[in-house]
Amino acid sequence: MGVEDKELLKDTVKRYDASSIQALEGLEAVRLRPGMYIGSTDIKGLHHLVWEVVDNAIDEHLAGFAKRIDLILHEDGSITVSDDGRGIPVDRHEKLNKSALEVVMTVLHAGGKFDNKTYKVSGGLHGVGVSCVNALSEYLRAEIHRDGHIYVQEYRRGKPLGEVQVVGKTDRTGTVITFKPDPEIFETTEFKYDILQHRLQELAFLNRGLLLTLKDERKVRNQEGKLVDNPHPYREFYSEGGLVEFVQFLDEGRTPLIEKPIYVEGREGDIVVELAMQYNTSFKEHLFSYVNNIRTSEGGTHVQGFRRALSREFQRYGEREGYFKKLKFKISSEDFREGLTAVIAIKLPNPQFKGQTKGELGNSEVTGIVSRIVGEALKHYLEENPREAKKIIDKVIHAATAREAARKARELVQRKNVLSGAGLPGKLSDCSSRNPEECELYLVEGDSAGGTAKQGRDRHFQAILPLRGKILNVEKALEHKIYENEEIKNMFTALGVKIEEKDGQRVLNLDNLRYHKIIIMTDADVDGSHITTLILTFFYRYMRELIEKGYVYIAQPPLYLVQKGTKRQYCWTEEEMRNTVKQLAANGKESSVKVQRYKGLGEMNAEQLWETTMNPEMRILKQVSIQDAAEADLIFSKLMGEEVEPRRRFIEENALYANLDV
Ligand code: 0RA
- Residues 222 and 302 reside in one and the same domain: no
- Residues 231 and 261 reside in one and the same domain: no
C-alpha 87 to ligand 1 mean position (Å): 5
Instruction: Indicate if 527 belongs to the active site.
Output: yes
Q: For ligand 1, say whether the CB of 532 is within 6 Å of any of its atoms.
A: no
DSSP-derived secondary structure letter, 494: H
Q: Is the pLDDT of residue 618 over 80?
A: yes
Of the candidates 139, 138, 103, 99, the residue with the CA atom closest to the CA atom of residue 19:
103
Give residue 206's identity as a one-letter amino acid code: L
**In this structure, what CATH number is given to the domain that contains residue 200?**
3.30.565.10
Assess if residue 15 is contained within a domain: no
Of the candidates 220, 266, 375, 236, the residue with the CA atom closest to the CA atom of residue 312:
375
Instruction: Indicate if 445 belongs to the active site.
Output: yes
Number of domains in the chain: 3
Task: Centre a 10 Å sphere on the Cβ of residue 459 and count the other Cβ atoms it contains.
Answer: 14
- Residues 114 and 220 reside in one and the same domain: yes
Task: Name the active-site residue from 154, 388, 525, 545.
Answer: 525
- Residues 47 and 175 reside in one and the same domain: yes
Residue 501 CA to its chain's centroid (Å) = 29
- Residues 60 and 188 reside in one and the same domain: yes
Distance, CA of 455 to CA of 605 (rounded, Å) = 9
Domain boundary among 212, 237, 262: 237
- Residues 511 and 641 reside in one and the same domain: yes
- Model confidence at 419, pLDDT cuts 50, 70, 90, reads very low
- Residues 36 and 184 reside in one and the same domain: yes
Calculate what percentage of the chain has a pLDDT beyond 90. 55
In ligand 1, the atom with minimum distance to the C-alpha of 57 is 12
Assess if residue 412 is contained within a domain: no
Do residues 514 and 436 make contact, with C-beta atoms less than 8 angstroms apart? yes
Q: For ligand 1, say whether the CB of 129 is within 6 Å of any of its atoms.
A: no
Phi-psi region of 465 (alpha: psi -120 to 50; beta: other; left: phi over 0): beta
Task: Name the active-site residue from 523, 611, 628, 631.
Answer: 523
Strand 294-295 to 340-347 pairing: unpaired
- Residues 250 and 377 reside in one and the same domain: yes
Per-residue HEC secondary structure of 39-76 comes to CCCCHHHHHHHHHHHHHHHHHHHHCCCCCEEEEEECCC
Strands (E), 459-497: 462-467
Strand order in the sheet with 621-623: 462-467, 440-445, 517-521, 552-555, 621-623
Residue 263 half-sphere exposure toward CB, CA atoms < 13 A: 12
Do residues 371 and 309 make contact, with C-beta atoms less than 8 angstroms apart? yes
658 φ, ψ (degrees, to nearest 5)? -65, -10
Give how far Cα 211 sits from Cα of 57, 123, 240, 291, Å.
Answer: 12, 28, 10, 20
What is the structure's pLDDT at 240?
96
What is the structure's pLDDT at 636?
61
When mean pLDDT is compared across 11-20, 193-202, 228-237, the lowest value belongs to 11-20
344 φ, ψ (degrees, to nearest 5)? -115, 130
Calculate what percentage of the chain has a pLDDT beyond 70. 85
DSSP-derived secondary structure letter, 463: E
Assess if residue 448 is contained within a domain: yes
What is the structure's pLDDT at 232?
83
Do residues 137 and 179 make contact, with C-beta atoms less than 8 angstroms apart? yes
What does the pLDDT look like over 236-249, one tens digit per residue? 999 999 999 999 99
What is the structure's pLDDT at 454?
94
- Model confidence at 340, pLDDT cuts 50, 70, 90, reads very high
C-alpha 57 to ligand 1 mean position (Å): 8
Q: For ligand 1, say whether the CB of 104 is within 6 Å of any of its atoms.
A: yes
Assess if residue 593 is contained within a domain: no
Of the candidates 217, 160, 177, 161, the residue with the CA atom closest to the CA atom of residue 193:
217
What does the pLDDT look like over 173-209, one tens digit per residue? 999 999 999 999 999 999 999 889 989 999 999 999 9
Assess if residue 604 is contained within a domain: no
- Model confidence at 95, pLDDT cuts 50, 70, 90, reads low
Distance, CA of 419 to CA of 612 (rounded, Å) = 40
Its domain, for residue 326, covers 243-402
Domain boundary among 373, 402, 431: 402
**In this structure, what CATH number is given to the domain that contains residue 317?**
3.30.230.10
Give how far Cα 346 sits from Cα of 243, 266, 351, 370, Å.
Answer: 12, 10, 10, 9
What is the structure's pLDDT at 406?
80
- Residues 41 and 158 reside in one and the same domain: yes
Q: What is the pTM of this model?
A: 0.72
Q: Is the pLDDT of residue 7 over 80?
A: no
Task: Centre a 10 Å sphere on the Cβ of residue 255 and count the other Cβ atoms it contains.
Answer: 12
**In this structure, what CATH number is given to the domain that contains residue 484?**
3.40.50.670
Does 175 or 564 have the greater pLDDT score? 175
Q: Is the pLDDT of residue 134 over 50?
A: yes
- Residues 167 and 272 reside in one and the same domain: no
Residues 315-335, mean pLDDT to the nearest whole number = 90
Task: Centre a 10 Å sphere on the Cβ of residue 510 and count the other Cβ atoms it contains.
Answer: 16
What is the structure's pLDDT at 118?
54
Q: Is the pLDDT of residue 605 over 80?
A: yes
Assess if residue 608 is contained within a domain: no
- Residues 230 and 250 reside in one and the same domain: no
Assess if residue 3 is contained within a domain: no
- DSSP one-letter string for 120-153: ---SSSS-S-HHHHHHTEEEEEEEEEETTEEEEE
What does the pLDDT look like over 631-653, one tens digit per residue? 777 666 654 444 445 555 554 55
Distance, CA of 186 to CA of 43 (rounded, Å) = 8
Distance, CA of 72 to CA of 80 (rounded, Å) = 5
C-alpha 464 to ligand 1 mean position (Å): 55
How many residues does the structure list for the chain?
A: 662
Instruction: Indicate if 525 belongs to the active site.
Output: yes
Those residues whose C-beta lies under 8 Å from the C-beta of residue 560, and which sit 6 or more positions away, are: 570, 571, 574, 576, 577, 580, 595, 596, 597, 598
Q: For ligand 1, say whether the CB of 89 is within 6 Å of any of its atoms.
A: yes
Q: Whose CA is nearest to atom 7 of ligand 1?
A: 88
In ligand 1, the atom with minimum distance to the C-alpha of 100 is 1
Q: Is the pLDDT of residue 23 over 60?
A: no
Do residues 566 and 520 make contact, with C-beta atoms less than 8 angstroms apart? no
Q: Is the pLDDT of residue 81 over 50?
A: yes
When mean pLDDT is compared across 124-128, 154-158, 436-440, 447-451, the lowest value belongs to 124-128
Assess if residue 597 is contained within a domain: no
What is the structure's pLDDT at 640?
46
Torsional sign, CA 454, 458, 459, 463: negative
Percentage helix, strand, coil for the chain under 3-state DSSP, each rounded to 5 = 40, 25, 35
Instruction: Indicate if 251 belongs to the active site.
Output: no
Domain boundary among 374, 402, 430: 402
Distance, CA of 480 to CA of 399 (rounded, Å) = 12
Those residues whose C-beta lies under 8 Å from the C-beta of residue 44, and which sit 6 or more positions away, are: 662
- Residues 352 and 463 reside in one and the same domain: no
Distance, CA of 153 to CA of 172 (rounded, Å) = 18
